[in-house]
Amino acid sequence: MLDNHLALLSPAEREHLDRLTVAGDRQRYLVGRVLLRTALSSATAQRVTPRQWQFDTATGGKPIVAPGLGLPPLEFNISHCRQLVVVAVGSDFPVGVDVEYLDRSIDSPPAAGVLAPGERAWLEGRLPEERAIDFLRLWTLKEAYAKLRGQGVSLDFATFEIGMDPPRIERTESGESASRNLHLSTEQVRMPDGLYQLSLAALCRKSRKPEVTVHLFREGFVGSEHGSSKLVRLAT
């Protein structure tokens, strides 16, 4: 099976894999790349095979499907945490995804420097016993939004503000109100090793509710018996 997975990678991906020296890093990279390719092909009903996909990098470093090659203009984003690999695929709109293990042992969630004033006030008003989980709900939403923007952790997280219940962008990093076509969603996902917080961000180019397909796989496995897919309809 390993040879079959390696055969799906491009020469550049194989070179990157060969440069990784830690076994866990190699496994995580291989699973992520294979899952991405199979998820994109699934979105095209297999009209494009996993081996046919080619990738490029947009301004800011966000990976994209290579333009100008006749490939479907799908948007995607990947997140890894512990044993979980997640790929989100949008049909024609940018997406961002983040997943974190729900660790209730966090005594004092960090706030200074990474949260906006309104977010800090919201977190301080939560029940002390739930504050760690509430922080991870908020943090994964901020990560998903930053990844949608193509900036990831290079974006100053204190410059934009997310409102909760329901999740929404109160203020963008430019200080403006968010587009009404920007949608956020967060939920808990149970895996064999525990609960994870999964958050999505999508910027729909049309006045319709975006549908994002999310593929979840246990690290180290790509076979369908170790993973699942779900269609997430983000609230308007």
Q: Nearest to residue 37, comparing CAs of 25, 20, 54, 24? A: 54
Q: How far apart are CA 84 and CA 128, in angstroms?
A: 28
Angstrom CA distances, 175 to 146, 158, 160, 178, 181, stand at 15, 11, 7, 9, 17
The pTM assigned to this predicted structure is 0.84
Q: What is the CATH number of the domain that holds 216?
A: 3.90.470.20
Containing structural domain, residue 131? 2-233
pLDDT tens digits, the chain, 236 residues: what are they?
Answer: 566 788 999 999 999 999 999 988 888 888 889 889 988 998 888 889 999 999 998 877 888 998 878 888 888 999 988 878 888 888 778 899 999 998 766 666 666 678 999 999 999 999 988 888 999 999 999 999 999 988 766 788 888 999 998 999 998 887 777 777 888 999 998 888 888 999 999 887 665 555 667 777 655 444 433 445 554 444 43
What is the number of other CB atoms lying within 10 angstroms of the CB of residue 212? 26
Q: What is the pLDDT of residue 224?
A: 38
Q: Is 63 helix (H, G, I), strand (E, B) or coil?
A: strand
The amino acid present at 111, given as its one-letter code, is A
Q: Is 40 helix (H, G, I), strand (E, B) or coil?
A: helix
Q: What is the pLDDT of residue 32?
A: 87
Count H helices, E strands: the chain? Answer: 5, 11
C-alpha gyration radius of the chain? 18
Count: domains in the chain: 1
Q: Nearest to residue 81, comparing CAs of 63, 98, 103? A: 98
